[in-house]
Structure 1
Amino acid sequence: MTEADLVLGMLLAAGFALLGALITYGNVRQARALRALEEAWRDWAERDLQLKRERERRSLQAPPDPQAYLNRIARSLLGREAVRWERTEEGFAGDGLLLSPLPPEAVEGRGFREAARVDALAFEDAWVAETLSLMHAGVPEPRRWRLYVRQRPGRLPRPLARVWS
């Protein structure tokens, strides 16, 4: 092996090292650019979704038959319906049921216990909470509504009553 072969080998090794460093640098730059692009895309999508939700919220209207709408919510969550619903300060009350945005602590003293949270995923209507707020206060607000059941003093809950009776 001559000196020329040694120099040529070192030049090749240095060239491959330089090529590897340039490729690595390019990959880092490209990854940084992709992260910035992804962040910009995510920000745009969130803003677009907020605009669309606000547009939908402004065009929201109360259902034509409020009694049927409230019964559909109660039926899908508890399997029960109320003969007549009344609008109260707490929300909507009917036949031992209370549909309200109040937290459980505020309702427990009135003889109710929380039965279910009203979640939009359980209904065809994607704006259940806003629709209930519109029906109650006249303004569609995103609130967390809950369905409460009146507690009967001295009685076992239904599943235990079947076992112990």
Structure 2
Amino acid sequence: MTEADLILTLLLIAGFALLGALITLGNARQARAIRDLEEAWRDWAEADLRLKRERERRELRPPADPDGYLNRIARALAGREAARWERIPEGFRGDGMLLSPLPPEAVSERFPGVRIRALRVDASAFEDPWVAETLSLLLEGEPRPQRWRLYILEPRRMRGALARVWS
């Protein structure tokens, strides 16, 4: 092996090392650019989604048939309907059911002597993603509550000798 072959071998090794370093730096720069693009795209998508949600919220109108809408919620959650719903300060009441934004403790205080079973109204359970906002529009309340529950109101059963007398 001559001196020229040794220099040529060293130049080739140095060239391949330089090429590998340049490719590595280029890949790192490209990965950073892709991450920046992904972050910019995600920010844009979130802002766009917020704008669309706000536009949809502003265009939201109460349903033309409030009883039918409330019955659809009651049917989906409890499997039953009310003949008629009436608006009360606590929310909407109909045939042993109460649809209200109040927590269970407040409902049990306002309706003593009644056994209460609470079912959470969740937008994912309905075809209407704006169920909480629609119920708030029906209630015409401000501020608009985001959590609603369907309460099944059942009379407490009497026990003992008194129950035998009344049955």
Q: TM tier, shorter chain?
A: 0.7 to 0.9
User: How many residues are aligned here?
Assistant: 154
Q: Matched residues in 2 for 1:141 and 1:37: separation?
A: 37
Distance of aligned partners of 1:146 and 1:80 in 2 relative to their CA distance in 1, 3 Å threshold: same
Q: Structure 2 regions of 5+ residues with no counterpart?
A: 159-167
1:69-99 residue CA offsets vs partner (Å, 9 max, x unmatched): 1001100111111122111222111122111
Question: Which digits, 9 at most, give the CA deviation of each residue in 1:87-120, with x for residues without a partner?
Answer: 1222111122111112233324434231x22122
- For residues 94 and 124 of structure 2, the distance between their equivalents in structure 1, rounded to whole angstroms, comes to 23
**2:90·2:101 contact (CA, 8 Å) conserved in 1?**
yes
Equivalent position to 2:140, from 137, 140, 150: 137
TM-score of the aligned structures, taking structure 1 as reference length: 0.84
Q: Which residue of 2 aligns with 1:161?
A: none
SS at match of 2:128: coil
Question: Moved runs in structure 1, 4+ residues, more than 4 A?
Answer: none
Write the distance in 2 (CA, Å) between the matches of 1:52 and 1:140: 21
Query: Identical aligned pairs, as a percentage?
Result: 71
Q: Which segment drifts farther, 24-33 or 145-154?
A: 145-154
Structure with greater strand share of residues = 2
Residues 15-41 of structure 1 deviation map (CA, whole Å, 9 limit, x = unaligned): 111111111111111111111111111
Structure 1 unaligned regions, length at least 5: 156-165
Write the letter of the residue equivalent to 1:63: P
| Aligned equivalent of 1:125 | 128
1:139 CA drift (Å): 6.0
Q: Name which one, 1 or 2, has greater alpha-carbon Rg.
A: 2
Q: CA RMSD in A?
A: 1.9
Q: TM-score, normalised by structure 2?
A: 0.83
The equivalent of 1:81 in structure 2 is 81
